[in-house]
A and B are shown apart, each in its own frame.
Chain A
């Protein structure tokens, strides 16, 4: 049995299959140092539970979980599959623990999630490491630098899989295949098809190895797809982040306390529309629509300590002119924008953690909360760019994780993880749900494929 991919879903499939008696081989496209796909960057798992469970407090029922999901997907979700994932998440928790994952109570400052999300101690890479240990103990073979080039479909079943192992072409004949190779967010050319040349300026927050080669190869052979091919989840991140793999540290939470301008020094959207956890995702798109796909968040000394420290120190200046020069913005225009903004600020009480209604008056666009004059030096500036997190287009699967071909289900092909998550998460993002989909479908795919391979 062959597992294509080396992240959470792939590992759950391989471990489950090995425990069911199958001989599993993992083809991980990345070198060992970068194994684990985007699971490396994750940090928790959203889990249904009827009472206190491990580090999870209280209870989190199926209906509440499902409502939380519908809230972000706006109905773009397969209700039956989604409910199945939610129900099975509860038994995943002890399974994960038994297979080496260490949990911890929610990270400080994320107490609101202590009921819904179980955090991995050390984060997703620690989880991936634990699963590789477990898989190897169970006799699973892992090949790194194993780039799958073609999955040969012949009459409703996979005949063989071609790959380059360390650059050397090799053909694998397997009784059963699990595709768990992630999305295509690191494939800039593919993103360009949907976003145009602007995509060249996007930063990719995760692994550079998610180029969607397996997904594209299967779609080219008329495998059924699901999810909007043009959409990706993008957020506004620190513009100085690396092109790939910047991960969690590149987030910037300063927008609600800022004035955000484009490279012409002009404001373009209400920075205080809602609390940041509800608005950060739209800012990816907003920045993507600006010239050169860049924006600048400007704050003064009053606001520096109101948000999580970012990975890079802000650009700092004693005057707005100096800041404009350092950020390469038109100084006159920036000063004019800030002056107009300051003049439109109204007196009132400022509450950083709730909608305080401290709004500007007479601006276009207005800032509707947390509007305080940018007046007390030093002034700070952060460049913002769109950071792509994941893509929605994926393989359509049934509740047995089986991939669907033009003439019904493929006999020996299953899918798990981001490559099929579009079946359930058609839009938006729900914290920790990607790992839940990967774990549940990884285990299903592993079981089904093992039963088939025997």
Chain B
């Protein structure tokens, strides 16, 4: 444990060294939010480094534009060192801390969590075998599903909230204003920090070629996730308020939202995984490559099993697919505070903080244009 703390201290020191060089250069100002943020400072505290690290979307534009990457003796690799500092910060803010690093570095652990989730669902389905119920409820009653998924949804959210609070305090977050949240939401909704500043996208999968591939795939996942979430929310309202329990026909809001969301999730995660295979691993945190890949795979599994489950309606495959789907969802929920899923929460917090700070302070400026 102690070695880990020292490791993150070294990572931050290295990030500081690199950022000081960036601050004397500033050519990358137009790429993303990180550079305007760092140009407002002259020296950099740990809190600054952690904030920049969580603002960075790993678009890699700055790496390929940099005059000072290896073999230059300055040896800049900002996307990598910020990815490492980001990962270290998540580990330090995670709650409960002993679970902090469970899934980031170990894809296998995530796979085992899925298997465990499936086992739990099958076990409960056997144990509590319902005597009546339509559709999925013929296999697992609505009450049993709520009993499993309500705590599996709420408890991780508590952990997420604790982690976010730790982050916010450590970077000196201050009061959150609606206008800052709106600005951050806009940046996240358009994935502005992956558009390269010029709209042609980032340098991810093919060295210095700009592409919106990753940005679009990521938005497919984001909006797919939100649609699925909306589907479940609508269904919950229909169940409790309108007294319209599932199953629903295809031309119903839960089904339409869920189908579209599921398809977007499948496509988005598949493309993200493909791009990740093509991308240069040495520009990210190599420790978590496997864990991130497993997480992408898990989201794909959740979505694909959901779609298959719908396609299999009325066949004997429903029970195994239901177990697979619900098991994967269970693992996804429970792993959220300790997996790549956290990036979304931290990123949004960092964007809110940046929106708050950018209005207040201006950068120390150059005195003119010279070489």
Contact = CB atoms under 8 A, between A and B. Distances in A.
A110 interface: yes
A168 interface: no
A110 B366 contact: yes
Interface of B: 20-21, 23-31, 36, 39, 42, 61-62, 64-74, 196-198, 200, 208-209, 362-371
Most chain A CB inside 10 Å of its own CB: which residue of B21, B72, B364, B370:
B370
Given A102-B200, A122-B64, A432-B369, 12 more contacts: A33-B69, A104-B30, A104-B197, A108-B39, A108-B366, A110-B366, A122-B27, A122-B62, A125-B66, A205-B371, A309-B24, A389-B371
Given A104-B30, A121-B31, A305-B42, A44 B369 contact: yes
Interface of B is mostly: loop
Given A40-B67, A121-B30, A122-B61, A309 B42 contact: yes
Contacts of A130: 208
A248 B200 contact: no
Nearest to A31: B71
B20 A311 contact: yes
A183 B68 CA distance: 21
B371 A122 contact: no
9 contacts: A33-B69, A44-B369, A107-B27, A125-B67, A130-B208, A276-B368, A304-B42, A311-B24, A429-B371
A121 B197 contact: yes
A280 interface: yes
A251 interface: yes
Contacts of B198: 102, 104, 121
A368 B138 CA distance: 91
Contact of A129 (B21, B28, B64): B64
Contact of B21 (A113, A124, A311): A311
A109 B25 CA distance: 13
Contacts of B24: 248-249, 251, 308-311
A307 B67 contact: no
Interface string A275-296: 1110010000000000000000
B290 to A, nearest CB: 29
A41 B367 contact: no
B203 to A, nearest CB: 9
A235 interface: yes
Nearest to B362: A108
A52 to B, nearest CB: 18
Contacts of A104: 29-30, 197-198
B366 A107 contact: yes
A353 B62 CA distance: 31
Contacts of B36: 108
A126 interface: yes
Contact of A108 (B62, B70, B197, B365): B365
Nearest to A249: B24
B211 to A, nearest CB: 12
Most chain A CB inside 10 Å of its own CB: which residue of B71, B73, B365, B368:
B368
A431 interface: yes
A243 to B, nearest CB: 10
A42 B369 CA distance: 11
A110 B368 contact: yes
B315 to A, nearest CB: 51
Contacts of A432: 369
A246 to B, nearest CB: 9
Contacts of B65: 122-123, 125-126, 129
Given A40-B67, A123-B65, A133 B208 contact: yes
A426 interface: no
Given A125-B66, A125-B67, A309-B23, A113 B369 contact: yes
Given A122-B31, A122-B62, A122-B65, A249 B21 contact: yes
Contacts of B69: 33
B27 A117 contact: no
Interface in A207-258: 235, 242, 245, 247-249, 251, 253
Contacts of A102: 196-198, 200
Contacts of A275: 367-368
A166 B367 CA distance: 43
The 4 closest A-B pairs by CB, nearest first: A109-B365, A123-B27, A122-B65, A277-B368
Nearest to A130: B208
Contact of A126 (B39, B64, B365): B64
A447 B30 CA distance: 33
A277 B371 contact: no
Interface residues of A, number: 53
A367 interface: no
A248 B72 CA distance: 14
A120 B366 CA distance: 17
Contacts of B72: 245
A43 interface: yes
Nearest to A121: B30
Contacts of A389: 371
B169 to A, nearest CB: 28
Most chain A CB inside 10 Å of its own CB: which residue of B20, B30, B64, B67:
B67
A248 B367 CA distance: 14
A52 B158 CA distance: 54
A122 B28 contact: yes
Given A129-B208, A133-B208, A308-B364, A110 B29 contact: no
Contacts of B67: 40-41, 123-125, 245, 247-248
Contacts of B21: 249, 311
A133 B209 contact: yes
A93 to B, nearest CB: 15
B196 to A, nearest CB: 8
A34 B64 CA distance: 12
Contacts of B364: 109, 305, 308-309
Nearest to A253: B367
Contacts of B209: 133
Contacts of B66: 125
Contacts of B61: 122, 126
A374 to B, nearest CB: 20
Contact of B368 (A112, A126, A309): A112
Nearest to A102: B198
A313 B74 CA distance: 14
A308 B68 contact: no
A107 B368 CA distance: 10
B42 A117 contact: no
A123 B214 CA distance: 23
B165 to A, nearest CB: 32
A307 B367 contact: yes
Interface string A40-53: 11111000000000
Contacts of B26: 107-108
B166 to A, nearest CB: 30
Nearest to B70: A33
Contacts of A431: 369-371
A339 B64 CA distance: 49
Contact of A249 (B25, B64, B365, B368): B25
Interface string A161-197: 0000000000000000000000000000000000000
Interface in A68-104: 102, 104
A309 B366 contact: no
A94 B29 CA distance: 22
Contacts of B197: 102, 104, 121
Contact of A248 (B25, B196, B208): B25
